[in-house]
Amino acid sequence: MSNIVNIEYNRVTNTTSTDFPGFSKDGDNAWDVQKFRDNFDINISSINERDANFDLVHIYTSLANAFRRIMMSEVPSVAAEYVYFMNNTSVIQDEVLAHRIGLVPLKIDPDMLTWVDKTLSEEEKFTDENTVVLSLNVKCTRNPDAPKDCTDPRILYKNAHVYARDLKFEPQGKQKETFADRPVVPCDPEILLAKLRPGQEISLRVHCILGVGGDHAKFSPVSTASYRLLPQINIIQPITGDSAKRFQSCFPKGVIDINGEGEAVVADARKDTVSREVLRHEEFEGKVQLGRVRDHFIFNVESTGAMTPEEIFFKSVRILKNKAEYLKNCPIGQS
């Protein structure tokens, strides 16, 4: 039971950790890479272009949290960094509109760009190898064909709403060939940027560069990257009849099932939110134990759309590996 964090009515026990991951006074504490390889496992529950849900089993909290933090703040992606306004007569201030454009996720493979050398002058630091240029040129006019009794501004006016799809890619240098098969477009074209009325217009250019979420959230390739420990539900004494139905109602749908003999059984513990609702009822006292498995992490990664979730995770592994190699080769006292 040393591997289980116990969830009780008014407290959580067996949470004590040590400076050495996996340490236990009852076992062999020597870390062995082959033993880790044999025990470690990855189980994928669901995966698509935007979301991934997977389990990392028999891994330490420090490693699991390192992956989460790296995915959020160290995996590079491309976002708008500089916005040059030629004209903006809308009601949205320049800085607010620039901020909204910066937060629009762009479908750009970060491996296709190099890092900007910020020590260079403004004229030299932007090249076709490190910068993607977008433009936005929109003017609102009246729609002469709109019905007389119409009140919808999207029908009354042309370009009344400015969306992310209105950002147009302007290839520079070799980019026409480089991005021929991968046109630069917003991941979500229906993001609303501004609302205009007749006579108002916006004209601007955007420079998009590589960055990391540690510098600004707009560079983070994930919307969410989180994990939780696998819930564990142990039914110590049989729970049957009407009591089984009440027991079932204490958990989210799909966690507890009732078998053919009318007895409550655990169907899928991973669906449980560990609300401890069952511990509030005296009739179940001493009949159930709740806990979480200390080394079983359920990850949920939601991409902004620039990269797939698995690509983001693989890059986080590569970054952590490079960090370990650096520390391994770094002379003592210089790390």
pLDDT digits (tens, 9 = 90+) for 182-226: 889 999 999 999 999 999 999 999 999 999 999 999 999 999 999
Are 31 and 66 in the same domain? yes
Are 87 and 176 in the same domain? yes
Tell me the CATH number at 36. Answer: 3.30.1360.10
Give the separation between CA 271 and CA 267, rounded to whole angstroms. Answer: 9
Q: Where residue 149 falls among pLDDT bands split at 50, 70, 90?
A: confident
Tokens 């504490």 -> residue: 29
Are 40 and 83 in the same domain? no
Are 98 and 52 in the same domain? no
Q: How many domains does the chain have?
A: 2
Are 56 and 180 in the same domain? no
Are 17 and 95 in the same domain? no
Are 157 and 50 in the same domain? no
Are 84 and 140 in the same domain? yes
Q: What is the DSSP letter of 331?
A: P
> Is residue 114 in some structural domain?
yes
| pTM: predicted TM-score of the whole model, two decimal places | 0.86
Q: Model confidence over 304-322: pLDDT tens digits?
A: 998 999 999 999 999 999 9
Are 227 and 206 in the same domain? no
What DSSP string runs through 224-237? EEEEEEEEEEEE-S
> Is residue 87 in some structural domain?
yes
Task: Tell me: pLDDT of 21 over 80.
Answer: no
Q: Model confidence over 217-258: pLDDT tens digits?
A: 999 999 999 999 999 999 999 999 999 999 999 999 999 999
Q: Model confidence over 264-291: pLDDT tens digits?
A: 999 999 999 999 999 999 999 999 999 9
Is-contact 159 196, C-beta < 8 A? yes
Query: Could you tell me the residue range of the domain that residue 209 belongs to?
Result: 77-219
Q: Where residue 328 falls among pLDDT bands split at 50, 70, 90?
A: confident
Task: Tell me: pLDDT of 98 over 70.
Answer: yes
Are 150 and 195 in the same domain? yes
Are 213 and 227 in the same domain? no
Contacts of residue 250, Cβ cutoff 8 Å, sequence gap at least 6? 256, 277, 278, 281, 284
> Is residue 241 in some structural domain?
no
pLDDT at 20: 60
> Is residue 231 in some structural domain?
yes
Q: Model confidence over 50-92: pLDDT tens digits?
A: 999 999 999 888 899 999 999 999 999 999 999 999 999 999 9
pLDDT at 245: 93
- Which of 167, 189, 219 represents a domain boundary (last residue)? 219
> Is residue 277 in some structural domain?
no
Are 33 and 113 in the same domain? no
pLDDT at 150: 87
Give the separation between CA 198 and CA 82, rounded to whole angstroms. Answer: 28
Contacts of residue 327, Cβ cutoff 8 Å, sequence gap at least 6? 335
pLDDT at 88: 96
